[in-house]
Amino acid sequence: MNGVLIFMAGLALGLGALVAVRQPQALRPALRDAARQGRTVGLRIPLGIFVAVVVSEVLPSGAIGPSIGPESGLRGILIATAFGAILPGGPIVTFPIAFTVWEMGAGPAQVVAFLVSWSIFAVHRILSFELPFMGPRFVFVRLLSAWYLPPVAGLIALALLSLPLGL
Amino acid sequence: MRDTATLIFVALVAIAAGYAFWFGGTALLADSAIQTASLTLRVVPVLTCGLLIGAFAGVLMPRELLLRWVGEDSGFRGIVLASIGGALMPGGPFTSFPLVHALHRAGAGTGAMVAFLVAWAAVGVNRLFVWEFPFMGVEFGLLRLVSSLPLPLAAGIAANALIRRFPHLGVPPEDKR
């Protein structure tokens, strides 16, 4: 966890320095933008985590393993895809849930399928952004072109996991 | 909009808290609160860096160049470039949908725009920094990233094939408000 933080802090500093050198006038707006996002997200994150923690305490931990555990294979990937597709809400709800399910013994390939499915079908985003901005015909074409992708990602993850990469 | 979202969150928390109390009394409620606090403290520093990375990357992103690369007849090359642009596009739907809308109206192909949105949503390098690394760790984040790399290409190719086969699915100019 500390390694991640050091890496991320380094990257943030590096990009910040690049902005300061190349477009110094854009530094202040960028910082203000990050702070505004942080305020919106920061307030809701503990709330999202709390909901996920309660769900994990109340759900029997044996319920997750057989259906979407590492041994559940393609069937688990399809179940995870279905869950991801019907999950309404942004990342503040989704990631605490993904983390909780992960801690309860879900398989990595199944969690990949869940997250990709959520990101492709994201009901709330289609309703509040894609339909108004792009129109129904575009949404239709996009869904028709992308609906099969979450299980594909899950299967790729499964294949990657079987490689001797130490994952 | 923002207030509705906050209200929904507060309502969800109230339901969860009530359920925890009913299920395990004050002990479970306190335990859940402590777990929430410790996970929040673990996530927040990394998330702060992620938000900064997103904001800085947004400044450095060459928008005009992108527009020149994903024109109507850019075909597979346009899909590849749109996928790269979408994957690296920082920010939430507030920033990317106005951009995609502008690109589409300026003449970007539908296949390229489908690829852009799928890349932004499913590959999402920015989301890797803001959400996946803090919550799920680097190893899982990279597994998810590599597994989703081919997806925008497949979606873009499929969208172009669909439109070639059924031309009436193509978005007519009057739909590109």
CB of A44 less than 8 A from some CB of B: yes
Q: What percent of chain A has pLDDT over 70?
A: 93
CA distance A108 to chain B (A): 7
The per-residue pLDDT for B177 is 44
Global pTM reads 0.78
Using CA coordinates, name the residue in chain A closest to B95: A129
The per-residue pLDDT for A80 is 93
Average pLDDT of the segment spanning A40-69: 76
CB of A74 less than 8 A from some CB of B: no
CB of A111 less than 8 A from some CB of B: yes
Residues of A in contact with B97 (CB under 8 A): 129-130, 133-134
Q: Over the stretch B20-33, which tens digit does the pLDDT of each residue have?
A: 888 888 888 888 88
Mean pLDDT of chain A: 85
Residues of B in contact with A102 (CB under 8 A): 136, 140
Identity at A161, one-letter amino acid code:
L
The per-residue pLDDT for B174 is 47
Q: Are B134 and B50 contacting, i.e. CB atoms less than 8 angstroms apart?
A: yes
Residues of A in contact with B144 (CB under 8 A): 111-112, 115-116, 153, 157
Residue of B136, B137, B147 with shortest CB distance to A153: B147
CB of A31 less than 8 A from some CB of B: yes
The per-residue pLDDT for A52 is 78
Q: What percent of chain A has pLDDT over 90?
A: 33
Distances in whole angstroms, Cα of residue A148 to Cα of each of A105, A144, A153? 25, 9, 9
CA distance A105 to A127: 32
Say how many C-beta atoms besides its own lie within 10 A of residue B78's C-beta: 23
What is this model's ipTM? 0.76
The per-residue pLDDT for B172 is 55
CA distance A156 to chain B (A): 5
CA distance A95 to chain B (A): 7
Residue A144 pLDDT class (50, 70, 90 cuts): very high
CA distance A133 to chain B (A): 6
Cβ separation of B19 and A161 shorter than 8 Å? no
- Residues within 8 A of B (CB atoms), A 142-161 only: 142, 144-146, 149, 152-154, 156-157, 160-161
CA distance A55 to B94: 30
CA distance A102 to A112: 10
Cβ separation of A3 and B138 shorter than 8 Å? yes
CA distance A114 to A57: 21
DSSP chain B: -HHHHHHHHHHHHHHHHHHHHHHHHHHHHHHHHHHHHHHHHHHHHHHHHHHHHHHHHHHH--HHHHHHHSBTT-HHHHHHHHHHHHHH--S-HHHHHHHHHHHHHTTB-HHHHHHHHHIIIII-HHHIIIIIHHHH-HHHHHHHHHHHTTHHHHHHHHHHHHHHHSGGGS--GGG--
CB of A95 less than 8 A from some CB of B: yes
Residues of A in contact with B23 (CB under 8 A): 57-58
CA distance A65 to chain B (A): 18
Residue A151 pLDDT class (50, 70, 90 cuts): very high
Q: Is the pLDDT of residue A1 over 60?
A: no
The per-residue pLDDT for A96 is 85
Q: Over the stretch B96-109, which tens digit does the pLDDT of each residue have?
A: 787 788 778 777 88
Query: For every one of its 177 residues, what pLDDT tens digit does chain B have, with 9 covering 90 and above?
Result: 456 667 777 888 888 888 888 888 888 888 888 988 888 888 888 888 888 887 887 788 776 777 777 766 668 888 998 999 889 887 777 667 877 887 787 778 889 999 999 999 999 888 888 888 888 888 999 999 999 999 999 999 999 999 888 887 776 544 544
